[in-house]
Amino acid sequence: MDTSKPPVAASPPVEDERVWKAGRLEPMPIRKLPDAPPSVHILGPTVFLVALGVGMGESYMWPRLVLLFGPEIRWLFLIGVTLQAVVMLEMARYAMATGESIFSGAARVFKPLMWFFFIVAIAVYIWPGHLSAGAAAFEEITGVPWVATAVVGLILVGMIFSLTKVIYSVLEKVLSLLIGVLVISTSVVASLVGSWSDVVSTITGMFAFGYLPPEAMSAAWFPVIVGACAFAGPSGMQQMWYTLHLRDSGAGMGVHIPRIRGLRHAGEEEAMPSRGFMFDTEDPAEMAKWKGWRRWVTFDALLLFWGITMLVTISFTVIAQAAVRQNPAVRTAVQGDDREVALGAMSDAVSSVGSSVLGMIFLGFIALIGLNATLGLFDSFSRGQADMTYNFVKGAKKLRMSHLYAGFLWGVIIFGILILLFGPADGPSGILDTLAFLSTFAMGAYCVTLLLVNNRMLPKPIRPRWWTNVIIGFGAFFYLGMLFYSLFAFGVVVG
């Protein structure tokens, strides 16, 4: 490996003196890779990606497309989620090998690339749109106006993250519980309302590669399909933030980086190093540990991420198909653009299968998914921006990482409240849709970034295999190609 030693070589080489040079930024000192977790344990930082990823795409967009175009359209979903599982493994490769975020990796390749993501994150994620669907569903159940729920929710999220000692642990506990409840109850409800034929058509539909009915290739529907592909699994910058959670959970070389603390406990935070670390990739013992870490994250990617995302979508699709069987009017309702009307229609139809209570449960799921996404998004956004600011803005190191984190968190919360109270009043859906173009563009851009970072900034023995590169390259083509085809062929960005 390309390590350099200091000029004085009289004493035997000490591990601490060696460094790995990656790009033009500060070299990474060589440190020991910790042992991988002893067993393939079911809980890992993937919980964040699942919480962020299982959202509107799974619960609404894809069931809706299935109702409109038939289950065969789901082959695109299979490609989208599988692609995201590979992206997740590749994001983890850099984060676990260096303890750095993918943003730092991007800066090592070309600093403006990192600033691009910094700006996109602000442009896309300061809008409180992601709160709206969950809060609107909550309004359906309780009658509490969605703006009130959203504002109270925002303040609560800020307080929770400011008061807790170690943010990662608290967030992991809360999200785990919510996801556990979501997974169990979605399964039970699907098992009650669905049938063998629903699930068979849903699953066989995933293998109808190339199926695109003529009406899907129209200015009205193609952009919607592009949007749904971008929302299959984690969308926008969520995969990039996953590298920060991996680091904070102490995965791989992340063990050498201190954790971010809540604002109240910021004083206890250890000094954050300005760069990551690398392990000795020429030492077989270290490489054996690395293989252990890769096994660990692969299990997470396949079972937790791919499995749960698939499960929730299949369950919701089965519920939606059952709904249409009971009440064919649902199909007409979901053709409209208004998401609230469509969700309401699905909920009504679900109610007619069982009871009004079941409709409530359906809306309860939507509210729960919204809450998961909100908790995860606010934390991740603040984490990502704080990371980039701390490492690459001059003078920012005078502050602690926790202070920067709190600054971004409360900044986005206050801005969100102002927008909710005084911003565009055209209903919840209006806000969410404006994010779509940049969000999809960022996904194509991070595929390119991943290729550059993993193939140029990592030592040869731990670089990705050729076929992984092909898949990630296909990802860039998939997201950017569909986005620009939609733009030039139909003059519409994303629906």
Are 475 and 87 in contact, with CB atoms under 8 Å apart? yes
Could you tell me the smallest distance in angstroms from the CB atom of residue 429 to other proteins? 29
Is the sign of the CA dihedral 37, 301, 381, 264 positive or negative? negative
Q: What is the phi/psi pair of residue 10, to 5°?
A: -70, -40
Pick 341 or 357: Cβ nearer other proteins = 357
Q: Which is nearer to other proteins, 354 or 459 (CB)?
A: 354
CB of 204 to other proteins, least distance (A): 13
CB of 230 or CB of 244, closer to other proteins: 244
**198/379 with CB nearer other proteins:** 198
> What CA–CA distance (Å, rounded) separates 203 from 193?
17
CB of residue 45 to other proteins, shortest distance in Å:
13
Residue 142: CB minimum distance to other proteins, A: 16
- CB nearer to other proteins: pick between 243 and 249: 249
**Which residues make beta-bridge pairs with 444?**
none
DSSP secondary structure code for residue 423 in this structure: S
The C-alpha angle 30, 450, 41, rounded to 5 degrees, equals 70
User: C-beta of 183: minimal distance to other proteins in Å?
Assistant: 3
Task: Quote the least distance from Cβ 247 to other proteins, whole Å.
Answer: 11
Segment (H or E) for 86: helix 75-98
Distances (CA, A) of 379 to 47, 127, 171, 261: 14, 14, 9, 12
Of 24 and 295, nearer to other proteins (C-beta) is: 295
Structure tokens at 94: 């850099």
User: For residue 73, what is the DSSP state?
Assistant: G
What is the nearest approach in angstroms of other proteins to the Cβ of residue 197? Answer: 7
* Positions in the binding site for other proteins (CB under 8 A): 32, 34-35, 37-43, 173, 176-177, 179-199, 250, 255-259, 270, 303-304, 307-308, 311-312, 315, 351, 354-358, 361
Least distance in Å: CB of 246 to other proteins? 14
With respect to other proteins, which residue has the nearer C-beta, 102 or 350?
350
Would you give the DSSP letter of residue 281?
A: T
Structure tokens given for 301: 């990617």
- Smaller CB distance to other proteins: residue 360 or 435? 360
- Nearer Cβ to other proteins, position 232 or 314? 314
3-state per-residue secondary structure call for 222-250: HHHHHHHHHCCCCCCCHHHHHHHHHHHCC
- Bridge-based pairing state of the strands 3-4 and 28-29: unpaired
**Closer by beta carbon to other proteins, 37 or else 423:** 37
By the 8 A CB rule, do 105 and 252 touch? no
CA distance 125 to 472: 24
Tokens coding 95: 């984060």
**CA dist 232 → 76, 145, 193, 439, 442 (Å):** 9, 29, 24, 13, 15
Min CB(43)–other proteins separation in Å: 6
Contact 392, 114 (CB under 8 A): yes
Q: Least separation, in Å, of the C-beta of 486 and other proteins?
A: 33
Least distance to other proteins, CB of residue 439, Å: 28
Residue with tokens 């789901």: 74
Indicate the residue among 196 and 488 with the shorter CB distance to other proteins. Answer: 196
| H or E segment to which residue 4 belongs | strand 3-4
What contacts 138, CB < 8 A, 6 or more positions away? Answer: 144, 146, 149, 363, 367, 370
Q: What's the closest the beta carbon of residue 194 comes to other proteins, in angstroms?
A: 7
- Rounded to whole angstroms, the Cα distance separating 379 from 402 reads 12
Residue number, 41 or 456, with CB nearest to other proteins: 41
d(CA 391, CA 28): 14
